[in-house]
């Protein structure tokens, strides 16, 4: 800035000197036109040389000022550009951090919802499995009570008489008439018939009576489904 002020002051002084010399030149021309003297002509030549030198100095100063001003403008432009880039960098970093925080929060929410759904699904699966096991145990108990012979304890899903002890179906367990599981599993007329009399034939007893087991329950399911 000081250099610029110095150059500006020198330029003003040069302008004043040029104006003064121009006035002197005009006065000399008037004197030369009036007095055609050799002395005045030599002084005029010397004056012309000095004016040319001052013009050259003035042109150099003007060029120097132009270059200096262009340099200042470029430096200021570069400074403003760097400041803008820095501000943009800071703003973009701030926006990126905000976006990252928002995406991270959404991701954690999605993971939390997924975990809750997975936990609820697992709980439902275990609860349904538990209910199914309870239901299956109840069904097995009812089937065993329904098809178990009250006399020998063997499970016989079909037939009017127990083929192991020869007793009538009405001798099956006390819940045989009550625990009817479904309409597809009728017990037939023999359930409501009278017990076997002394004149009615009976089946022979087996050597080894059949006890309640899972295989017998499966056969009871099959027989009830086909009947």
pLDDT at residue 111 greater than cutoff 60: yes
Q: Is residue 129 part of a domain?
A: no
Q: Is residue 54 part of a domain?
A: yes
60-78: average pLDDT: 90
3-class secondary structure, 71: helix
pLDDT at residue 95 greater than cutoff 90: yes
Q: Is residue 118 part of a domain?
A: no
pLDDT at residue 209 greater than cutoff 60: no
Residues 6+ apart with CB under 8 A from 166: 196, 202, 203, 204, 205
Q: Is residue 135 part of a domain?
A: no
Q: Which residues pair with 161 in a beta bridge?
A: 168
pLDDT at residue 109 greater than cutoff 90: yes
Q: How many domains does the chain have?
A: 2
Same-domain status, 93 and 17:
yes
Distance CA 157, CA 221 (A): 8
Same-domain status, 58 and 153:
no
Percentage of the chain with pLDDT > 70? 62
Domain end position, chosen among 107, 127, 158 = 107
Task: Give the tokens for residue 128.
Answer: 């349904």
3-class secondary structure, 164: coil
Distance CA 47, CA 39 (A): 12
Q: Is residue 133 part of a domain?
A: no
In degrees, rounded to 5, the angle at the alpha carbon of residue 221 between the alpha carbons of residues 160 and 144 is 70
For 181, what's the count of Cα atoms within 13 Å in the CB-facing half-sphere?
Answer: 18
Confidence (pLDDT) at 35: 62
Q: Is residue 159 part of a domain?
A: yes
| Residue 159 pLDDT grade (very low, low, confident, very high; cuts 50, 70, 90) | low
Confidence (pLDDT) at 27: 77
Range of the domain at 16: 2-107
Q: Is residue 123 part of a domain?
A: no
Same-domain status, 20 and 101:
yes
Same-domain status, 88 and 159:
no
Same-domain status, 153 and 102:
no
Confidence (pLDDT) at 162: 73
Same-domain status, 102 and 28:
yes
Confidence (pLDDT) at 196: 44
Query: What tens digit of pLDDT does each residue of 9-35 get?
Result: 777 777 787 787 788 777 777 766 666
């Amino acid at each position: 800035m000081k250099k610029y002020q110095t150059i500006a002051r020198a330029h003003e002084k040069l302008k004043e000197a040029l104006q003064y010399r121009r006035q002197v030149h005009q006065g000399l021309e008037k004197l030369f036109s009036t007095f055609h003297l050799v002395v005045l002509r030599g002084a005029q030549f010397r004056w012309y040389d000095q004016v040319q030198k001052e013009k050259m100095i003035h042109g150099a100063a003007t060029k120097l000022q132009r270059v200096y001003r262009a340099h200042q403008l470029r430096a200021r432009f570069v400074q403003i550009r760097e400041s803008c880039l820095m501000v943009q960098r800071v703003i973009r970093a701030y926006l990126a951090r905000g976006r990252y925080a928002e995406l991270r929060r959404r991701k954690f929410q999605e993971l939390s919802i997924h975990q809750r759904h997975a936990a609820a699904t697992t709980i439902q699966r275990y609860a349904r499995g538990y209910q199914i096991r309870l239901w299956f145990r109840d069904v097995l108990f009812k089937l065993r009570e329904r098809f178990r012979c009250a006399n020998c304890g063997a499970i016989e899903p079909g037939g009017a008489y127990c083929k192991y002890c020869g007793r009538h179906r009405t001798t099956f367990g006390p819940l045989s008439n009550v625990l009817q599981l479904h309409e597809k599993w009728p017990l037939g007329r023999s359930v409501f018939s009278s017990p076997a009399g002394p004149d009615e034939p009976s089946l022979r007893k087996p050597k080894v009576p059949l006890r309640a087991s899972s295989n017998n329950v499966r056969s009871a399911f099959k027989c009830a489904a086909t009947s």
